[in-house]
Amino acid sequence: MKKIIFLFVTVFAFTLLNAQDISFGLKAGPNFADLNISDSDDDDEFETRTAFHVGGLVEFSFSDKFSVQPELLFSSVGAKYEESEGEVSMKLQIIENYLSVPIMLKFYPIEGLSLQAGPQIGFLLSAKGKMEISGTSSDDITEEEDIKDEFESIDFGVGFGLGYKMDMGLFFDARYVLGMINVAKEIDDDEYVKNNVIQLSIGYKFM
């Protein structure tokens, strides 16, 4: 993991020293997250959890065609599970909150449109399990449990996407982040739990 962090620092330093133009921006939007679980039965049971991301970015341009865009995002991911029997329904959510640092390499085939790919490292801020039961004879039940100790402190993934930037500074991004490492503790060596997320963003760049 130290090698991954060193790689991020090296790429950022090289980018800063060689950029021809720099722009800053803010972005936010929904996350559509799920968990890739080695046990196929569990994987089928969990569904996509809708959450959000928000943060800032810096784009270092080397030419009209190529740039590098580091970002600093608060990003909420995880998954959910729902079950109902008669009038009683239960919803379980796994909620993981990360400070995510993507470094996206961008190629502009035409003006405004970019193809993006790059690594992302995530630092776990919090994790909890939330259970909601409704339809019982008594009041609805909501319980939360802190499960941060059950997850690794660092996540690593690779993002792929595309974006469109308007002349006025407004931009739109669509990205898929594929989790590359196991984030769950205390499981067998041949098992894994990985975060996957689709991100849709709207933002503004200060030229």
CATH number at residue 64: 2.40.160.20
SS3 27: strand
Contact 159, 102 (CB under 8 A): yes
SS3 13: helix
Full residue range of the structural domain in which residue 178 is found:
2-206
Comparing 19-28, 112-121, 142-151, 189-198, the range with the smallest average pLDDT is 19-28
Single pTM value for the model: 0.86
Comparing 18-22, 50-54, 142-146, the range with the smallest average pLDDT is 18-22
Instruction: Report the domain count for the chain.
Output: 1
Q: pLDDT tens digits, residue range 2-36?
A: 666 666 666 666 655 565 688 999 999 999 999 99
CA dist 46 and 39 (Å) reads 11
pLDDT-derived band at 95, boundaries 50, 70, 90: very high
Average pLDDT of the segment spanning 120-132? 95
> 38 vs 174, which has greater pLDDT?
174
What is the pLDDT, as a whole number, of residue 45?
A: 77
Joined tokens for residue 201: 């963003």
Instruction: For residue 179, report the phi and psi dihedrals to the nearest 5 degrees.
Output: -70, 135
Average pLDDT of the segment spanning 72-91? 89
Average pLDDT of the segment spanning 59-75? 92
What is the pLDDT, as a whole number, of residue 119?
A: 93
What is the pLDDT, as a whole number, of residue 155?
A: 97
Average pLDDT for the chain: 88
pLDDT-derived band at 44, boundaries 50, 70, 90: low
